[in-house]
Amino acid sequence: MLLVGFLICRRTTRNRSKHQPGTPAVRVAALAAVGCTAYSADTSWRFAADYLDMSGTTERIAMFAAAELALFATALLARQNLHGPKQAPGLPGTLTWVITAVQVIPAYAESGVVGGTVRAFVGPIMAALLWHQAMGIELRIRTPEGASHSVLARVGREARERLLSRLGIAARDRDASQITRDRATRKAVALASHLAE
């Protein structure tokens, strides 16, 4: 895993050195991602013995590594898609987060609520986030004006805009005083209309 992390960090650094000056940060993120993946692998190793009745070492190695390798593979595929014609992580990017969510289950099964939260956060969640950052998969970092066009992203944006509109803060490029004045104007118009009736 250390070798793979080093190779990805080196390749990412070479490809992105023109765009982002913080190459030591990429190296540290890749190293941290390897550590968090190992942390997640430890949880999977224990879960395989305690809950899946896998007593043989070979069987446990083959099975516990599957989720870790799948997470890493989907992150690599998402990176490949991001550099492809569509310039978006696509299905592999979504699968990265699905695998991460499933890996949270063994963390809670092994260590309960408090320990499971620590295992889940430091293990699969941080591994996915750090691999995402180290490999440059995050669309907003690569193209700050870019936006995902997946169904989930569009539904999320629409829900957010409707909520902000309902709260009266949906208009962009306006400060709080302008929003307050507009609300007061609307109330005054409504009150004048009511008094005129």
Three-class DSSP labels, the chain: CHHHHHHHHHHHHHHHCCCCCCHHHHHHHHHHHHHHHHHHHHHHHHHHHHCCCCCCHHHHHHHHHHHHHHHHHHHHHHHHHHCCCCCCCHHHHHHHHHHHHHHHHHHHHHHHHHHHHHHHHHHHHHHHHHHHHHCCCCHHHHCCCCCCCCHHHHHHHHHHHHHHHHHCCCCCCCCHHHHHHHHHHHHHHHHHHHHHC
User: Bigger pLDDT: 63 or 41?
Assistant: 41
Two tokens, residue 149: 């066009």
User: Bigger pLDDT: 194 or 135?
Assistant: 194
**Segment among 36-40, 47-51, 85-89, 169-173 with least mean pLDDT:** 169-173
Residue 26 has pLDDT above 50, yes or no: yes
* pLDDT at residue 119, rounded to an integer: 92
Return the top range by mean pLDDT from 37-41, 151-155, 175-179. 37-41
Residue 60's CB is within 10 A of a number of other CB atoms, namely: 18
* pLDDT at residue 19, rounded to an integer: 45
* pLDDT at residue 17, rounded to an integer: 45
* pLDDT at residue 18, rounded to an integer: 46
User: Bigger pLDDT: 170 or 144?
Assistant: 170
Residue 62 — very low, low, confident or very high, per pLDDT cuts 50/70/90? confident
Residue 47 has pLDDT above 50, yes or no: yes
Are 75 and 132 in contact, with CB atoms under 8 Å apart? Answer: yes
Mean pLDDT over residues 126-134, rounded?
82
Q: How far is CA 147 from CA 132, 137, 153, in A?
A: 16, 13, 8
* pLDDT at residue 121, rounded to an integer: 93
Two tokens, residue 112: 């309960």
pTM for the whole thing?
Answer: 0.61
